[in-house]
Structure 1
């Protein structure tokens, strides 16, 4: 059941990608080559490519994609194997976020022979071992003392307010929460401002921002806000908590 839930979310994360164009980079013996595109197949220039020697520490070959989203690294005289990574810098408010891009093939590339590794800027499929993806994370916990709120049954709806960090308008989506080592989470959310609502068994919950040792925010029927780096988060995340409505609310 647990694995089924993760597979379902992974499929949800990539469902919108079925129409994306896939790059077709020709292989060249002795070179690691590839093309980096977004979900619509548009080339992405200036993406950092890390061709990492799997045998020696801190001995990567770094290059960047050109105006056509292409890169080429010479490995003709390097009898090693290489793991290839692509990272794109995305601006969100005052933050610059390094987004890990998704390879068409995650296997290592043999030096001398070379190989092709194309990448796409899209949500990274989540697994039980890695439930966070490569984009923003929305963490939702029950309020203190709210023992009747089963977060496994909570549904959270995110409605974008204005443009998102990737320049898109986004769309309203409803999620169930996944378990993670950092608490119940919605992975792979593009950074931006959202109106957030939550329900339990179809009935509205109250929601607010979870504060890190500061004055608690007011409870409301919805929360509108963005992502922060509270709670020592490595990437900008949203931290919320929910509770059952109280009498008189």
Structure 2
């Protein structure tokens, strides 16, 4: 009996070393058949380097790589309207949510920040914007970007500075001003919405789907001046105030991820 036991142990050792012993065969461990709910695992336990079946997971950071707590991640079920799972990131910026149903999902993420007395809901940039099969699972990491183009041609992470210009040239009644010859200068008045130091922006206006102005401007408070081929323009906020040489303006939230500054411009009178 002892000889048979020893031979059996030696046989198991040889087979295991050759890779011929399958996982779970001749094992002392016993499974109770339960599948762990991925949502029961804390964010700090997530390994973002490996895809897990039936789980969407990842990490949210700012452009300096610092984790963002409280970001909202949505796993949107593409087959059923308004059917999704929503989760928030932990202190290490990580999240995970179960997607183990027969449907295709798309992941998106936003953060909310209060800045100069206003609340902004900001879209985050995914490292991969492709939909995925829920049972297969996926990793989707997100970065808070102040500027840059969104996936799918859906605009920019920065805001728009839009203007209407008085087309009449007071020095020449037969001449009308061309809004694409207007140049705007924006000087940050304090830190940007993420606390970083902004840069001076000098750009000529272009036309876009919402009007004329500048696109993809990092959200912040700016001192704004304008000129037309070198001739100073008077500027004011749209819908109120008096014309002046410059105006201090914050972006107005329009909807999630869309923020505008709206101005009125004109050549100085007299």
TM-score, structure 1 length as denominator?
0.77
The alignment partner of 1:163 has SS state of: coil
Are 1:38 and 2:66 matched, yes or no? no
Q: Which has the higher contact order (CA 8 A, sep 6+)?
A: 1
After superposing on structure 2, the runs of 4+ consecutive aligned residues of structure 1 that deviate more than 6 Å are none
Change (3 A) 1:127 1:83: closer
| Largest Rg, 1 or 2 | 2
Q: Does structure 2 conserve the Cα–Cα contact (< 8 Å) formed by 1:54 and 1:80?
A: yes
Find the counterpart in structure 1 of residue 203 from structure 2.
175
- Consecutive unaligned residues in structure 1, runs of 5 or more: 1-23
Find the counterpart in structure 1 of residue 123 from structure 2.
100
Q: Does structure 2 conserve the Cα–Cα contact (< 8 Å) formed by 1:104 and 1:119?
A: yes
Are 1:201 and 2:229 matched, yes or no? yes
Q: Does structure 2 conserve the Cα–Cα contact (< 8 Å) formed by 1:37 and 1:120?
A: yes
Q: Does structure 1 conserve the Cα–Cα contact (< 8 Å) formed by 2:101 and 2:135?
A: yes
Stretch moving more, 62-71 or 192-201: 192-201
Alignment of 1:39-58 (within 5 A): 39-58=63-82
Alignment of 1:77-96 (within 5 A): 77-96=100-119
Are 1:156 and 2:179 matched, yes or no? no
Deviations 1:53-111 (A, max 9, x none): 10011211111111111111222x31211000001011123322211101111110211
**Aligned alpha-carbon RMSD (Å):** 2.4
Q: Does structure 2 conserve the Cα–Cα contact (< 8 Å) formed by 1:155 and 1:176?
A: yes
Aligned length: 215
TM-score, structure 2 length as denominator?
0.71
- Consecutive unaligned residues in structure 2, runs of 5 or more: 1-46, 170-174
- C-alpha deviation, 1:236, in angstroms: 4.7
Are 1:60 and 2:88 matched, yes or no? no
Are 1:240 and 2:263 matched, yes or no? yes
